[in-house]
Amino acid sequence: MKNDSLILEEFLDNAFNLKLHLMEFFSMKENDLDGFLANAKINLASLHPGDALSNVSDFYTDIVGDRHVADLAAWHITSKNYICDTLKLQQRFSRDLVLDFGGGIGTHALANAMSSKVEHVFFIDINQTNRKFVEYRAKELGVEKKLTFCESIKESQISKFDTIVCLDVLEHLADPASQIDVFSEIMDFNSVALFNWYFYKGEKNEYPFHIDDSAIVEIFFKTLQSKYIEVFHPILITTRAYKKIK
Ligand SMILES: C[S@@+](CC[C@H](N)C(=O)[O-])C[C@H]1O[C@@H](n2cnc3c(N)ncnc32)[C@H](O)[C@@H]1O
């Protein structure tokens, strides 16, 4: 186990060996890595079929392939200070049984697994490439015993979590209100959930896969306000901590 400052230092230094893991997992040479990461955001956006997509989840299961890994890796490397703040935030709250919903390339799940305050992390992601990539990373980092990989929360067979991490995911779901409803059912009154959201497709449609329908967003905020109470923290304003209302 590592102390909190060392975990942050290692993330800032090499994003938990992210580049090496990408090269090994995707059998890529160092020269090809730049191409894999360059323009990852535009490449991911260009894959989205727009209104032709009838089921939101299909984008993540059938269409993105390894492009979402590339997009998330490029983002975690170029915005490392922001991501580091989200790690600092989870260090403040994470304990015991942790659910990381929509865990992506695993930065948060891996950091939580390295923490002595965390007993076990359930990494949930609908995308199989993401799950396999993070499973590989966990083994490389020696934290695989503290992680379980699932496609859905149900598959985890856990009825109560002490910490829920759901970062940069809610805007990717067809019904974000139902998702936070589900989260409230698997929380105790002492559990803490970390949420952020970006219900916006971007100025130039850079995020065509984000939900921005005002009716869906309104139901989301009504649900949030009826089920949760915010827990103040001074770390970053885009990501909020919540307990469920008694
Ligand atoms: C923008 S990424 C965020 C990744 C990570 N939480 C982070 O902060 O870097 C959104 C993630 O949510 C996953 N996802 C999308 N829909 C999902 C669903 N219905 N259930 C579980 N994961 C989902 C995607 O596969 C992707 O890994």
As a dihedral over the C-alpha atoms of residue 133, residue 137, residue 138, residue 142, rounded to 10 degrees, the angle is 160
Strand, coil or helix: what is 148? strand
Strand, coil or helix: what is 4? helix
Relative to the CA of 124, which ligand 1 atom is closest?
A: 21
Q: What is each CA distance from 236 to 80, 95, 168, 194, in whole angstroms?
A: 14, 20, 14, 12
Residue scoring higher pLDDT (110 or 60) = 110
- Answer yes or no: are the C-beta atoms of 131 and 190 closer than 8 Å: no
Where does the pLDDT of residue 41 fall: very low under 50, low under 70, confident under 90, or very high at 90 and above?
A: confident
Residue 115 in this model has a pLDDT that exceeds 90: yes
Phi, psi of 196 (to 5 degrees): -140, 170
| Range in 26-35, 55-64, 84-93, 159-168 with the lowest mean pLDDT | 55-64
User: For every residue of 19-85, which 3-state class applies, written as one string?
Assistant: HHHHHHHCCCCHHHHHHHHCCHHHHHHHHCCHHHCCCCCHHHHHHCCCHHHHHHHHHHHHCHHHHHH
Ligand 1 centre to CA of 124 (Å) is 8
Where does the pLDDT of residue 171 fall: very low under 50, low under 70, confident under 90, or very high at 90 and above?
A: very high
Fold of 4-244: Rossmann fold (3.40.50)
Mutation to probe ligand 1, out of 107, 125, 180 (largest number of atoms < 8 A from CB): 125
- Answer yes or no: are the C-beta atoms of 129 and 66 closer than 8 Å: yes
What local confidence, expressed as pLDDT, does residue 199 receive? 97
- Percent of the chain topping pLDDT 70: 100
Ligand 1 centre to CA of 121 (Å) is 16
pTM of the full structure: 0.96
What local confidence, expressed as pLDDT, does residue 46 receive? 86
Q: Whose CA is nearest to atom 25 of ligand 1?
A: 127
What local confidence, expressed as pLDDT, does residue 64 receive? 81
Please state the domain extents for the chain.
4-244
Ligand 1 centre to CA of 188 (Å) is 24
Ligand 1 centre to CA of 33 (Å) is 22
Mutation to probe ligand 1, out of 126, 130, 132, 182 (largest number of atoms < 8 A from CB): 126
Listed in sequence order, the DSSP H helices in the chain are 4-14, 18-25, 30-37, 40-47, 58, 67-78, 80-93, 107-114, 128-141, 153-156, 176-185, 214-227
